[in-house]
Structure 1
């Protein structure tokens, strides 16, 4: 398997060469095999072990196991313990979702603070199959069937094309030690039910089922790409973008043999859920509307008009001082910096003394103004969007990081001049997406 792994990484993840890698390591079979493969391939790795406090002494033993492995291999080791139940209760999410939110926020913090380049997880082909079946059972579109992404930002999953049996054979041959998570034996979770009861039957009925599944999923990803490309091309024929609205020409839209599918592709990110009402809108009387939390789609004679609703409840998220990372509503990290390194649209450096805490994140509102870095005067955010040729959708997805009433950053796009680092700055704060 080592040779196949090295060829796979060279072909699909050549950018990992020479980088510092953080491995999400539970101590289980998959993550310990990944560590072994990376070490034998000469990669520079560090291990991060999250303790969710859900299995008492067993959780402590998992942490001790991974820590001992790191000492033996002289590897950097990071660990954190979370009150997952309290977090899940507070956020009103399942334990699995709470654990996911906690660990990925922590991983982002570790990457930032320790100058690590990528996070690697040990998800494999069987995990992908289980996720496919879970999504299929709940009802999903092609995005839900296309699988776990091998690359998602700085998160890399190099084992997705290897099966659980291949990984176990490798670990056994190499004499690797690992920990068994007792919760994996429970059928209390849907994933475990699928793993124990459904997948074995599929593999028995059809030998080579997993290979066929991976091939099918590759076709689905190709189809996903084709759908996205087609939606963009047809959008140019049907849609007219104005400063504060999008008009969909019904004469062009209704000529399409499956205009509902196109409407879904164009409008799904605007928060609409009443899809039956939305699909019926082209045949409705003029004046009929369908609402999303922030947007309205209106039938106005020969067009569908999409615009931002008036008086919707603008959500404001607060960020307390000394926060290291956030996951919601977007992923951001905050850390002290000794000097300014290379800036980018996804990273800014500000004078921490000029900030008024807590900071806030919110969407833009008419009348918002800021001072683009490099300019002495101010500019309306709406005018900035227009000059940068933002679509209505891009405007709707853009967040503002604010200090009091002042905008610090049009996140991912432009910093405010008032918070830049100067020669008198004593504390530099690096803020990254």
Structure 2
């Protein structure tokens, strides 16, 4: 029987995860998996010369208990002479301000800290304790959520992160094997009580679905690793082929990309999809839109015919225009007034798509009775500073809504209000001279704006929809 140590070392060698002289940042929560990882690398350091650093994040979700986790990790590292970087991040406060999925926000903030530590200390590799059970959980969760190939590939042994890489040397071993290894080393760990809660999706899979699968076959986690490895290898090869075909299908023409429909259609469907994914990566610079299956489907549908012309609007003011056998991708052609409009007071201001906006003194005689195509709002001039402008959203925009202690991110507002992905970058935003978001026109208004005129209100604004 192959030992735990041999399995992991063989995996490290196969994927070339570690070299002599590496500086490694080990992500350590203090739990069983990460403490097993830390013990393993302390032993491995006797055979390969490298430096170990540890990063720990207290998410402040469990009060004193999570702070004691931090102290546990710091104490262990001090005993072993390891430099540790630790940080307490107020996740409850961030959740209050933004809403959203707590685990996703924890991960975002945690990895932002890891990135910061790596960049400040010239550490090129982040080591995490993901194992075979994690791979199985990720595979099943992806199948349940979307079933897209990009998500079904699961966790890679290594991937680019910051200016370095993340490596996962424990992928070939199971959680039970990690536990057994840690016990053999006489290691201790901290138990996270949140792991027992079924309110998290991953925990429901871990507690209920995977035990049933293991009753059928104890080797199901290893099978998941084998399957995802094959998917990763096959997909990487197909992407290599798509990259070679890319310039035959897509050309860069000054400030736009042009897709040749006949050349795209001449390729197998598997390559068509990947060519478009590569195009999206160029357009969106590896952002959240680069891996959007929805955008790929929209573009493929646009290319189904070469008759006449058609247009689809993509995020960030990118427009795909089909003209017969070609599709051009470029930033939406608008004049400066449509990008940012300084509003005239006490006059009607023309926006886009038949929308007009009036903003001015309450005493002005302009019609202010709400009708089927008009909505009237009021606010006090001391709350917002003129001049007022209309613009599109920017990164980091927030709006302070009624009933909320802190402002809410517009990205979360759009999700909560079910605004279609392709429409979010074209929603007009009303801001004041300090760039404070007063309202997202047609969606929500800030806490200081009311549909009912109050005694202190001396400004009104009216939205008129003439395309109704």
Post-superposition Cα deviations, 1:118-159, rounded to whole Å, max 9, x if no partner, equal: 221111111111111111111142111111122223322211
> Aligned residues, how many?
319
Distance 2:144 2:158 in 1: 25
The equivalences for 1:96-245 within 5 A come to 96-153=103-160, 154-245=165-256
Q: Paired residue for 2:5?
A: 2
Q: Paired residue for 2:31?
A: 28
State TM-score, norm by structure 1. Answer: 0.67
| 1:267/1:20 CA distance change after superposition, 3 Å | closer
1:286 aligns to 2:313 (yes or no): no
| 1:59/1:314 CA distance change after superposition, 3 Å | closer
| 1:255/1:166 CA distance change after superposition, 3 Å | same
Give the match's secondary structure for 2:198. Answer: coil
Distance 2:14 2:268 in 1: 40
- Among candidates 47, 65, 82, match of residue 75 of structure 1: 82
| 1:172/1:15 CA distance change after superposition, 3 Å | closer
Structure number with greater Rg is 2
Structure 2 gap segments, 5+ residues each = 284-288, 340-391, 398-468
Distance 1:275 1:114 in 2: 39
Post-superposition Cα deviations, 1:389-420, rounded to whole Å, max 9, x if no partner, equal: xxxxxxxxxxxxxxxxxxxxxxxxxxxxxxxx
The equivalences for 1:322-401 within 5 A come to none
| 1:245/1:78 CA distance change after superposition, 3 Å | closer
- Displacement of 1:108: 1.9
| 1:249/1:284 CA distance change after superposition, 3 Å | closer
- Displacement of 1:107: 1.5
Give the match's secondary structure for 1:85. Answer: helix
- Displacement of 1:89: 3.6
Post-superposition Cα deviations, 1:322-357, rounded to whole Å, max 9, x if no partner, equal: xxxxxxxxxxxxxxxxxxxxxxxxxxxxxxxxxxxx
1:63 aligns to 2:70 (yes or no): yes
- Displacement of 1:14: 5.3
Distance 1:177 1:83 in 2: 27
Q: Paired residue for 2:273?
A: 261
- Displacement of 1:101: 1.7
Structure 1 gap segments, 5+ residues each = 319-433
Give the match's secondary structure for 2:309. Answer: coil
Distance 1:165 1:235 in 2: 45
Distance 1:108 1:277 in 2: 34
CA contact (8 A) 1:5 1:37 kept: no
